[in-house]
Amino acid sequence: MSWHHIIPASVLAGVWNYLVDRHVATQLREARVALRQYILLAKRNLTDVERVLDRIRAGSMPRPRTGYGSLAPLDVVEVHAITTAVVWPPWNIVEGPSSRSDDPKDEYLDRFTYGLSADETTRMRAIALLDGEFENFLHAGPMPGSTALRALSTAIARYRTFLTCDGPIRYRPEMWVRDAGAKWRKRRGGDPHP
């Protein structure tokens, strides 16, 4: 068994990197708001998100000569925890066979349509719509401006309630079909049920 991304990890990381860059390199209010929205989408129980945002910015600034009032940047453990949450949010993960004939790798959305509960089906639709918004944001250029940042924040806020969950979609046999070549693939219309 393996964990499979629905939205490719490269898309999640790309959006994160653009948001951090805009937050650190500009004074755009929209950059901070969009980064806050994204962090809370990835790690909904993160405490003191405003301080985390300040510390992300502090990590890119030269250290002041005096220690008075200086804000420590995030340490390695904190950065690792946040980046892991960003690339592996539980709402974006499906458990399934490792050996797949239809594995999209990191190329495109891996949308599941069979064997899901009603809540998981709703989640999958929201993920597909959010993926489109992420792609739009990434295609806004290497330095997205206020309009692109605002659109992304709005999209994240719109879909967040559908993505709130306690964990990944767990393996269920009705989601998968074994191919003739001993590999597995997602169940599609017309496939026999187990």
- pLDDT value at position 59? 67
Question: What is the distance between the alpha carbons of residues 76 and 186, in angstroms, rounded to a whole number?
Answer: 37
Element (DSSP H or E) covering residue 2:
strand 2-5
- pLDDT value at position 66? 44
- pLDDT value at position 69? 52
Question: What is the distance between the alpha carbons of residues 77 and 7, in angstroms, rounded to a whole number?
Answer: 25
Question: What is the distance between the alpha carbons of residues 103 and 110, in angstroms, rounded to a whole number?
Answer: 8
Task: Determine whether 107 is exposed, middle or buried from the number of CB atoms within 10 Å of its CB (0-12, 13-18, 19+).
Answer: exposed
Question: What is the distance between the alpha carbons of residues 136 and 132, in angstroms, rounded to a whole number?
Answer: 6
Per the listing, tokens 């990381």 go with 13
Question: What is the distance between the alpha carbons of residues 8 and 162, in angstroms, rounded to a whole number?
Answer: 19
- pLDDT value at position 194? 65
Token pair of 62 as six digits: 């030269």
- pLDDT value at position 68? 36
pLDDT digits (tens, 9 = 90+) for 103-132: 999 999 999 999 999 999 999 999 999 999
Q: Which residues in the chain show pLDDT less than 70?
A: 59-70, 193-194
- pLDDT value at position 65? 43
CA 67 centroid distance within chain:
36
Within 10 angstroms of residue 34's Cβ, the number of other Cβ atoms is 28
Per the listing, tokens 């949010």 go with 89
- pLDDT value at position 61? 54
Within 10 angstroms of residue 177's Cβ, the number of other Cβ atoms is 19
- pLDDT value at position 60? 63
Element (DSSP H or E) covering residue 37:
helix 29-42
- pLDDT value at position 162? 96
